[in-house]
């Protein structure tokens, strides 16, 4: 393929696999074109670059921080009592704070590992990896409805039309696979916000996440039409290439026409690469067992986690796995117990498997929901949406685990110490991937846009990789 004639061509004609093109290339290119080049030198120290890939574990619906990673004895003490006056000034989705009662945590907490990190009994499998986790207890934003909050956690803003972080990462780092997309999203239920969960927003559509299905045909239109035999298809593709090359010959210098020809071959290769990716039959029984595949509730998410490992092995840059169903308005304990039985063993299995294959060092895992849940009771034993303080964890990608970051107040209401906004989480993820979140920009609507907008000051990357 001949070189792209402009940066715009370069951005728009990459197909799905755009080889080893990376941010460095982008910035150099900018410098060549005498555009506003950003110096690559003198990077701030929070750009550590220990991670190469991301597996983003999104717990859709909002898992309770109070039942998982943020033990609050005060809630047990005041169980059933009215909320202290000082905490009543919060807007919540469905509860009036004036007559709301405190609800005690529904699970016991214990210290785990050498580090003694506290994790609830909900996650017996994950707890074994306590020393690999960096738990953030001071996540926060201010959006208490699912739609806007999910946009926030994926795109760093409450408004539609902005790229999700997976698209930003693909834009910044490119893809290492020639046969698979850079960014793949997979869900065990539904994309509750539709395509805005993996959108490329205002970035070129090349960076859009590919919604891959764990069963059947993994990618749209991947299956050869029933009317076309394999040899017919290959024959037609060869004819097509020759005819398109003749067309190109009289129209030299148009990189789009070149890219188009290359994309037909990429499409052809994807037809076998993507089904191979989701075919788990060649994995050993021990591997299946590790992920809980075949183990009732854990089976589905277990398969997705194993596929995530296979994606990372094949060079997929950003994998987004969604576990639906965490919206525990009614029975918080029952709901979370059931959600844990679906995800705990698979996620723990993923960590163990990545580690034993030497991939954990370069693969960043991030676990987060769109918000946490209220310290106060909804109905008989549920909890409402709560964005003012909640928990998340990260592991792998060079992180030295066994840490907790930040804290909420005594009632688990608001993040008060070492607060980590979603923009900070994103800045941290980019930092671990070697990207300065202030440098990764795209010009749209009159401004060089950033994933982190004007935020991201509390970048944890440097702290996370230190012992």
Site for another protein in 277-336 (CB under 8 A): none
Beta carbon nearer to another protein, 219 or 312: 219
Dihedral (Cα; 330, 333, 334, 339), 10-degree rounding: 100
Candidates 10-18, 122-130, 332-340, 422-430 — which segment interacts with another protein by CB under 8 A?
Answer: 10-18
Exposed (0-12), middle (13-18) or buried (19+): which is 77, by Cβ within 10 Å? exposed
Question: Does residue 229 bind another protein (CB under 8 A)?
Answer: yes
CA angle 429–431–436, rounded 5-degree value:
125
Residue 467 has a CB neighbour count (10 Å cut-off) of 6
Question: Does residue 114 bind another protein (CB under 8 A)?
Answer: no
CB of 227 to another protein, least distance (A): 5
Site for another protein in 410-449 (CB under 8 A): 443, 445-447
DSSP string for residues in 407-449: EE-TTS-SEEES-EEHHHHHHHHHHHTT--TTT-EEEETTEEE
Question: Does residue 37 bind another protein (CB under 8 A)?
Answer: no
In angstroms, the Cα distances linking 8 to 17, 36, 129 are: 17, 14, 44
* Helix (H) / strand (E) containing 238: helix 230-249
CA angle 316–318–321, rounded 5-degree value:
110
Site for another protein in 66-95 (CB under 8 A): 91, 93-94
Contact residue for another protein among 20, 37, 40, 159 (CB under 8 A): 159
CB of 355 to another protein, least distance (A): 32
Beta carbon nearer to another protein, 86 or 285: 86
Map residue 365 onto helix, strand or coil: strand
CB of 445 to another protein, least distance (A): 4
How many chain residues are in contact with another protein, going by CB under 8 A?
Answer: 88
Beta carbon nearer to another protein, 108 or 454: 454
CB of 255 to another protein, least distance (A): 9
CB of 49 to another protein, least distance (A): 28
Rounded Cα–Cα distance for residues 96 and 390 (Å): 20
Beta carbon nearer to another protein, 145 or 297: 145
CB 225 within 8 A of CB 234: no
Q: Are strands 109-112 and 133-140 parallel, antiparallel or unpaired?
A: unpaired
Site for another protein in 250-269 (CB under 8 A): 250-254, 256-257, 259-261, 263-264, 266-267
CB of 92 to another protein, least distance (A): 9
Region for 153 from its dihedrals, namely left if φ exceeds 0, alpha if ψ lies in -120 to 50, beta otherwise: alpha
Candidates 49-57, 200-208, 337-345, 433-441 — which segment interacts with another protein by CB under 8 A?
Answer: 200-208
CB of 190 to another protein, least distance (A): 4
Candidates 67-75, 120-128, 147-155, 293-301 — which segment interacts with another protein by CB under 8 A?
Answer: 147-155
Beta carbon nearer to another protein, 68 or 155: 155
CB of 386 to another protein, least distance (A): 13
In angstroms, the Cα distances linking 9 to 2, 4, 5, 183, 255 are: 11, 6, 6, 20, 7
Rounded Cα–Cα distance for residues 281 and 271 (Å): 18
Question: Does residue 243 bind another protein (CB under 8 A)?
Answer: yes
| The residue to which tokens 């909420």 are assigned | 408
Question: Does residue 236 bind another protein (CB under 8 A)?
Answer: yes
Beta carbon nearer to another protein, 158 or 362: 158
Rounded Cα–Cα distance for residues 416 and 422 (Å): 15
Beta carbon nearer to another protein, 2 or 114: 2
């Amino acid at each position: 393929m001949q070189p792209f004639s402009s940066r715009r061509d370069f951005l728009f004609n990459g197909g799905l696999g755009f080889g080893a093109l990376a941010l460095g290339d982008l910035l150099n290119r900018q410098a060549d074109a005498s555009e506003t080049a950003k110096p690559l030198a003198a990077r701030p120290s929070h750009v550590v670059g220990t991670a190469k890939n991301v597996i983003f574990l999104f717990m859709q619906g909002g898992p309770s921080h109070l039942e998982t990673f943020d033990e609050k004895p005060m809630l047990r003490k005041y169980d059933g009592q009215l909320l202290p006056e000082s905490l009543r000034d919060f807007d919540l989705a469905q509860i009036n704070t004036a007559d709301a009662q405190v609800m005690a945590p529904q699970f016991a907490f214990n210290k785990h590992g050498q580090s003694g990190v506290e994790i609830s009994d909900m996650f017996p499998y994950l707890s074994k990896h306590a020393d690999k986790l960096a738990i953030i207890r001071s996540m926060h934003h201010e959006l208490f409805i699912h739609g806007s909050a999910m946009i926030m956690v994926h795109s760093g803003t409450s408004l539609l039309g902005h790229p999700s972080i997976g698209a930003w990462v693909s834009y910044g780092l490119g893809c290492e696979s020639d046969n698979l997309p850079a960014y793949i999203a997979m869900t065990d239920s539904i994309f509750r916000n539709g395509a805005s969960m993996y959108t490329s927003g205002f970035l070129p559509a090349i960076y859009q996440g590919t919604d891959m299905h764990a069963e059947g045909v993994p990618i749209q239109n991947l299956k050869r039409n029933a009317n076309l035999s394999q040899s017919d298809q290959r024959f037609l593709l060869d004819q097509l290439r020759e005819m398109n090359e003749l067309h190109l010959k009289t129209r030299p210098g148009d990189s789009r026409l070149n890219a188009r020809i290359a994309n037909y071959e990429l499409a052809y290769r994807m037809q076998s690469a993507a089904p191979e990716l989701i075919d788990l039959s060649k994995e050993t029984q021990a591997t299946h067992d590790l992920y809980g595949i075949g183990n009732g509730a854990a089976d589905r998410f277990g398969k997705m986690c194993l596929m995530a490992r296979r994606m990372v092995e094949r060079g997929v840059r950003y994998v987004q796995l969604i576990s639906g169903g965490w919206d525990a308005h009614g029975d918080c304990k029952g709901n979370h117990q059931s959600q844990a039985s679906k995800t705990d063993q698979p996620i723990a299995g993923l960590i163990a498997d990545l580690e034993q294959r030497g991939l954990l060092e370069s693969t960043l895992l991030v676990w987060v929901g769109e918000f946490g849940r209220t310290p106060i009771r909804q109905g008989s034993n549920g909890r409402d949406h709560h964005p003012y303080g909640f928990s998340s964890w990260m592991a792998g990608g060079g992180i030295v685990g066994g840490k907790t970051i930040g804290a909420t107040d005594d009632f688990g209401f608001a993040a008060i110490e070492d607060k980590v906004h979603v923009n900070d989480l994103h800045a941290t993820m980019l930092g671990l991937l070697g990207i300065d979140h202030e440098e990764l920009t795209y010009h749209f609507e009159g401004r060089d846009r950033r994933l982190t907008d004007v935020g991201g000051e509390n970048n944890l990357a440097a702290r996370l990789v230190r012992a």
